[in-house]
Amino acid sequence: MEKESFGKKLKKAWKWQSRYPVIPIIILLVIVVCALFADLAWLGLPDVHLAPYAPNDMSLGDRLTPPFFMPEGSTEHILGTDNIGRDILSRMIYGARISLSVSLLVIAVATIIGMILGMTAGYARGNVDSFIMRVTDAALAFPALLIALLLAVTLKPSIFTVVLALSALSWAPYARMMRGEVIRLRDEDFVAQARIIGASPFRILMRHLFPNIVNTLVVLMTMSVGLVILIEASLSFLGAGVPATTPTWGSMASEGRDKIATGWWISLFPSLAIGLVVLSCNFLGDWLRDKLDPRLRQL
């Protein structure tokens, strides 16, 4: 049997990679691992940790140490240190935990609120639909970052404040999308048959309509992760996010903006992490949309 040439193997590998979002999945898995295993204090193992240093450990003698690949760099601080000697890699690993936690909480709250309002509006129609959609239109009209900034500044800085600020308007796209999907399906035969046999509106919504729109919901949730992380990083960059003692990618980028000439790595690596996660979530969301939507699925 003739051996397969290297060119054919490479072509098959590239075809497989083009069909599945391998790189975005790897990047997101790395972020999840960093978030879970930055330290294992939450499992009762405070001495077990992935980060080489504690996020707020300072060493003034090592301040502004460049990354290891530069002439003055050191392998003890692979990505260098900031202006007070804190390890950049360790702070980025701990920052992944904040970004992931905030994004998951915000998306959970936004999904629940948006799903309830959108499905209710789409099924009830009439005055209920008009009222909910006018509120939704108003929420969509406000700039999300500005409202989040106002709420974050008004309340005491904390993760709860950031989640509340980001959730204040994040539900609106979910409500509009769910309403449209319910309107599209509410007059189908299987819904009419459920009404005939006496199924309640709640049962029709959850048992018959929701399973048919969950694919669209999953796609929207996936694509929202990157946006939430970006807004959270923007709030932290502006000093209105989580407390300054808690490492986040946005606050790290902000801390390095005055040191661009002498410590460019302080802002560069957190900014790259934000960009990679946002792009990965968008690519994964596009792939899921193509796979889950039969109208876009490639045969």
Encode pLDDT of 66-115 as tens digits: 898 888 888 888 888 888 888 999 899 998 888 888 888 999 999 999 99
Residue 148's nearest CA partner among 248, 221, 247, 241 is: 241
Core vs surface per residue 112-129: b (16+ CB within 10 A) or e = ebbbbbbbbbbbeeeeeb
| Nearest-angstrom CA–CA distance, 266 and 232 | 18
Instruction: Give residue 117's pLDDT.
Output: 92
**Three state DSSP letters for 141-187:** HCCHHHHHHHHHHHCCCCHHHHHHHHHHHHHHHHHHHHHHHHHHHCC
| Tokens describing residue 39 | 């330290």
Would you state the pLDDT for residue 99?
84
List helix spans (H) across the chain.
Answer: 6-19, 22-37, 88-124, 126-141, 144-154, 159-185, 189-196, 201-203, 210-237, 249-255, 265-292
CATH topology of domain 87-101+112-292: MetI-like fold (1.10.3720)
Structure tokens belonging to residue 68: 């290891």
Supply 158's token pair. Answer: 């904390």
Whether pTM exceeds 0.85: no
Residue 299's pLDDT band (boundaries 50, 70, 90)? Answer: very low
Q: What per-residue confidence (pLDDT) applies to 18?
A: 58
Residues 25 and 200: their CA atoms lie apart, in Å, by 41
Distance CA 40, CA 36 (A): 8
CA–CA distance, 93 with 88 (Å, rounded to integer): 9
Per-residue model confidence (pLDDT) at position 109: 92
The per-residue pLDDT for range 226-262, each reduced to its tens digit, is 888 888 888 887 777 777 778 888 888 888 888 888 8
Per-residue DSSP letter, 258: G
Question: How far is residue 299 from each of residues 22, 85, 112, 212, 224, measured CA to CA in Å?
Answer: 20, 54, 33, 21, 27
Q: Which amino acid is at 83?
A: N
Cα gap 264→171, rounded to integer Å = 37
Report DSSP state, residue 45.
B
Largest CA distance in the chain: 77
For all residues of the chain together, what is the average pLDDT?
82
What are the beta bridge partners of residue 87?
81
Greater model confidence, 265 or 289 = 265
Q: Give residue 2's pLDDT.
A: 45
Candidate from 4-18, 118-132, 143-157, 174-188 with smallest mean pLDDT:
4-18
Using CA atoms, how far apart are residues 270 and 186, in angstroms rounded to an integer? 46
State mean pLDDT over 266-295: 82
Domain boundaries, the chain: 87-101+112-292
Structure tokens at 59: 């060493």
Grade residue 17 by pLDDT with cuts at 50, 70 and 90.
low
